[in-house]
Structure 1
Amino acid sequence: MKRFFYLLAIFNCVLLAAEKPNILFIFADDQAYETIGNQTECQTPHLDKLMNAGVNFTHAYNMGAWNGAVCAASRAMLNSGTFVNRAQKGIRQYPHWSELMSNAGYKTYMTGKWHVPGAPRFDVVKDPRPGMPKQTEEGYNRPLNPEAYAKGWKPWDKSKGGFWEGGVHWTEIVTNHGIDFIDEAKNDDKPFFMYIAYNAPHDPRQAPKEFVDMYPLESISVPENFLAEYPDKELIGCGPLQRDARLAPFPRTEYAVKVNRQEYFACISYMDAEIGRLLKALADSGQADNTIVIFTADHGLAVGRHGFIGKQNMYDHSVRVPFLISGPGIKKAQKISSPIYLQDAMATSLDLAEINPPKHIEFKSLLPLIRGERKVQYERIYGKYIDHQRMITKGDWKYIVYPHAKREILYNLQKDPKELQDLSNKPEYASILASLKKDLKVLQKEMGDDFDIENPLPFWDPTIKKNKKRSGSH
């Protein structure tokens, strides 16, 4: 009799596991929200198809970072479930996302970019990659002019390594590994959780020539919020010593920005084609009908907007990302504009797997929003970049403060989505600015952020080896 109940328990566990959906999480690196859905010249037919197959969250944010490697902070939040000012501790202290899924009966798999302290904690790990490959010096301060470009380094040049190190582009390798696991998983009784982390479109912006050729330079528009140089760039941590900032010449030129955007779009279109190959393999395996697909990126990228090249700023082009979710039970062609954090992907997967989230998980499941049970995920969105920038977005408004530059910025995002018109010095908006500043201070307390935006400690630049005094950084 005991043997009967033992076998029955095993059968029930297998049955419950079979009822849980597979989860395929696809993660891009440095991909801005505006690069899908024909918002720019960038072509992403496979991501657009995925977007139409489910829910498109149009306002997905990253909270920012404690240093220039914004992707490291984003991934620490994602895998620990903790907000940015607690994520450095949380990623070391708490079970990772993959461990929670594994404990719930999922077979977990990871390939691609990791950039989190320690080794990936998945059942199967294939070819984990660092934050970025070794960048060639030829990839910086370019292009100076058309003549220099003609003689210089090109995205399809394999001789300098980078993403071509080993002979096959890392984007293709990640897809190949993912397809191999999908083929194996179709014979497994366990549901799977796949963490497919592309390094694209992070620099060096390398892609096969055919994808660069998709974007003739004359077809690339200069962003309407293009600036040659951002005011107070050194005082906000984005000066010429900041690594990302050095990719293009100072001051920025329209020509250099167009080339950088051309190559950025090429990397994204190449990754899109590889994602299409991955999704086809999923469909061919017969597992697509029981698989939830989530696609997002760790943060956006400026690539010439507002004088920035990188992501070390609080503008929407750098803090917002694409966020798509589709699969069984997800209504097609939905668009949700309520602000979310991209790290809500973790809590959503726990909800899908019917896992009670541990108390340390601070992000929220998106399922109540998708089902219409909740209209607002977060009343206010928080942003930081070391102790140089703070931001709050609430309703139609965004408030940015640069404590060391003694400067504040106010935007009405509804009327000015490209963030072109600073309203902070307009008397008629003084009460809104004061209210947002007050809200930011309250939000800082909630976030565990004790940085005094009105009385900052002496300026500290993380890109300079010797500083007189270091201000607190979280």
Structure 2
Amino acid sequence: MQHPNVLMIICDDLNDYQGVFGGHPQAYTPNIDKLAASGVRFINAQTNIGLCNPSRNSLFTGIYPHQSRNFGLDKKTTQKLFKHNKTIMEQFSEKGYYVMGSGKLLHSNIKDLWDEWGVDINNYGPFAYDGEKQVGHPSVPQPFRSIGDIDGSFAPLSDIPGFSDDEVKGDKAGWVYSGKSGKVFNYFDETNRDLVPDELHARWAAKRIREMDAQTDTKPFFMGIGFVRPHTPLYAPRRFFDMFPIEDIQLPIIKKDDVSDTYYKDNYPVERSSDDRWYTNTSKGQMYSKLLTESYGDEQEGLKHFLQAYLACVAFVDEQVGIVLDALGKSRFADNTIVILTSDHGWQMGQKQYLFKNSPWENSTRIPLVFKVPGHNAGTELQQPVSLVDIYPSLIDMCKLGENNTKDVNGLPLGGYSLLPLIESASSEDWEGPEGALTAIATDIVDYSLEAQTFSYRTHDFRYIMYPHGQEELYDLKNDPNEWYNVAADTSFENHLFNLRTQVKNLITSNQ
């Protein structure tokens, strides 16, 4: 195929909780599993930074965060990155592709990058609404609910937000698509309700595939679909919650005081702001874990309720993925379309007393990554650690887009490597990239120096973490897959520590 079509599906905050990736034994993801069985799955794929905005900027430009200095929500670095470097959408457009998308792709979508944009809606909705503003769902106990309308909320859609007389502001309390617009989300029962944004994006994609299938135009297409679930707020139809009864929820194995031999707590202390809201991305995970325990009076009970909602949203988004893949499979494009499914980063479910994304450990950095390339190794599992930054050069290679990813002399070189040699041979011997995958930890503090950043490096056998003040963590994944024991101070690992430290420093300095 000279110029195959491309369908890229990105989920938000989706860790390895899919059947085929084995992250949780109760995960129900038949559509993602079916896709993986027809393609190549990278079981050690990693994000390049643990926060939505910089992760997606990195993915769509092929530039590491340490190259762009885009370590957080800083608009200045984002604008500079897009000014000098082409997104993958621009690359496809220059080669004559019809470029279309819908949903959460870039964190703040730039519609000018697309020939056609799908559903224009607040992707995170619906929201609980107290008649005046978006709020945490009233069924979530305090103090966890005080986190707010996004991270502090989870409930089935059938649990229509109701408030006490002293809480309600006016007569419009309930569900809304967006508090700013005031657009009501109508729910009467499971079969008579409005569609949530992810459902709208899935149906738009399926409809456009069917429409293109009926046309005679042979122009290749690039379609991006961004599903927001299982990002918080964790809302989904009741039937998905019913799949995971609270009394049957299996919690991840959590080692008591597992955080005690780490340095994360020293670099990112738990703090609380004066207005009683949690505020730094780097400390949210520990704060959320504490609040969940306080809200339910027991750590395990709190985790069961949150995990039920997360698994429900994973099953829900899998169904949306299936709607899109079913339309593609029934079209004439089935045999000449590359399909990619991934996530912007993972999610930590209470391990190391941490409930959030953006940690330096496996649950937060590991992501699902599936490539279905027609004619190549269906059902193959690849162990080589790779990362999101490798998707851009892979598509350049697979679709013959050329090597010009910059707009001017200030543009940065691609940070990743094409995955095509791995996909073709299923052997790491043909991999031209680094031994491991590099992840940065996002920060709200605008400090562009590399010395101020935390980096996590995942190889097949080890995870190495390098903190700003010289502290290190090292986990022997062969013997400690749960990352319970930091062996950085163990002299028997001294050579491994030196080798991994050198790899990380060389990787950071080699592609500036």
Normalised by the size of structure 1, how large is the TM-score? 0.81
Q: Is 1:33 matched with 2:34?
A: no
**Where do residues 70-109 of structure 1 align in structure 2 (5 Å cutoff)?**
70-87=51-68, 88=78, 89-109=80-100
**Where do residues 76-155 of structure 1 align in structure 2 (5 Å cutoff)?**
76-87=57-68, 88=78, 89-113=80-104, 114-116=106-108, 118-128=110-120, 132-133=124-125, 136-139=134-137, 142-143=140-141, 154-155=155-156
> Which position in structure 2 is the counterpart of 1:367?
420
2:156–2:236 CA contact under 8 A, matched in 1:
yes
Output the amino acid matched with 2:391. A
**Where do residues 409-424 of structure 1 align in structure 2 (5 Å cutoff)?**
409-424=473-488
Going from structure 1 to structure 2, the CA distance change for 1:81 and 1:255 (only over 3 Å counts) comes to same
Tell me the distance in 1 between the aligned counterparts of 2:56 and 2:13: 12
TM-superposed CA distance for 1:440, in Å, is 2.7
**Where do residues 117-266 of structure 1 align in structure 2 (5 Å cutoff)?**
118-128=110-120, 132-133=124-125, 136-139=134-137, 142-143=140-141, 154-156=155-157, 157=159, 159-161=174-176, 166=185, 167-186=194-213, 187=215, 188-225=217-254, 230-231=259-260, 235-237=266-268, 239=270, 241=278, 242=280, 244-245=284-285, 247-250=288-291, 252=293, 253-266=299-312
Tell me the distance in 2 between the aligned counterparts of 1:128 and 1:414: 46
Comparing 129-138 and 153-162, the one that deviates more: 129-138
2:464–2:501 CA contact under 8 A, matched in 1:
yes
- Where does the alignment leave 5 or more consecutive residues of structure 2 unmatched? 69-77, 129-133, 144-152, 161-173, 186-193, 272-277, 294-298, 406-412, 444-451
Comparing 189-198 and 216-225, the one that deviates more: 216-225
Percentage of pairs with the same residue: 26
1:313–1:389 CA contact under 8 A, matched in 2:
no
Once the two structures are superposed, what CA deviation does each residue of 1:63-117 show, in whole Å capped at 9, x if it has no partner? Answer: 215xxxx111111011112111234332332222111111112111110013147
Tell me the distance in 2 between the aligned counterparts of 1:255 and 1:334: 38
**Where do residues 3-42 of structure 1 align in structure 2 (5 Å cutoff)?**
20-37=3-20, 38-40=22-24, 41-42=26-27
Tell me the distance in 2 between the aligned counterparts of 1:131 and 1:401: 35
TM-superposed CA distance for 1:310, in Å, is 1.1
TM-superposed CA distance for 1:160, in Å, is 3.9
TM-superposed CA distance for 1:49, in Å, is 0.6
1:143–1:259 CA contact under 8 A, matched in 2:
no
Output the amino acid matched with 1:438. T
> Which position in structure 1 is the counterpart of 2:45?
60
2:292–2:302 CA contact under 8 A, matched in 1:
no
2:139–2:155 CA contact under 8 A, matched in 1:
no
Comparing 394-403 and 167-176, the one that deviates more: 394-403
TM-superposed CA distance for 1:255, in Å, is 1.2
1:227–1:305 CA contact under 8 A, matched in 2:
no
Once the two structures are superposed, what CA deviation does each residue of 1:13-34 show, in whole Å capped at 9, x if it has no partner? Answer: xxxxx95221111111111124
Tell me the distance in 2 between the aligned counterparts of 1:350 and 1:125: 23
Secondary structure of residue in 1 paired with 2:341? strand
The alignment covers a number of residue pairs equal to: 422
Output the amino acid matched with 1:381. A
Tell me the distance in 2 between the aligned counterparts of 1:129 and 1:306: 36
Once the two structures are superposed, what CA deviation does each residue of 1:135-189 show, in whole Å capped at 9, x if it has no partner? Answer: 85425995569xxxxxx96232452436996432111011011112112222132
Tell me the distance in 2 between the aligned counterparts of 1:229 and 1:395: 22
Output the amino acid matched with 1:180. K
1:143–1:248 CA contact under 8 A, matched in 2:
no
Tell me the distance in 1 between the aligned counterparts of 2:455 and 2:2: 44
Going from structure 1 to structure 2, the CA distance change for 1:233 and 1:138 (only over 3 Å counts) comes to farther
**Where do residues 346-361 of structure 1 align in structure 2 (5 Å cutoff)?**
346-358=392-404, 360-361=413-414
Secondary structure of residue in 2 paired with 1:201? coil
Secondary structure of residue in 2 paired with 1:20? coil
TM-superposed CA distance for 1:338, in Å, is 0.6
Tell me the distance in 1 between the aligned counterparts of 2:4 and 2:154: 45
Tell me the distance in 2 between the aligned counterparts of 1:131 and 1:238: 31
Once the two structures are superposed, what CA deviation does each residue of 1:382-403 show, in whole Å capped at 9, x if it has no partner? Answer: 2221345222234412121333
TM-superposed CA distance for 1:235, in Å, is 3.9
Q: Is 1:438 matched with 2:489?
A: no
1:82–1:363 CA contact under 8 A, matched in 2:
yes
Match of 1:380 among 424, 436, 440: 436
Secondary structure of residue in 1 paired with 2:335? helix
Output the amino acid matched with 1:370. I
Tell me the distance in 1 between the aligned counterparts of 2:324 and 2:109: 28
CA RMSD, 1 decimal: 3.0
2:42–2:370 CA contact under 8 A, matched in 1:
yes
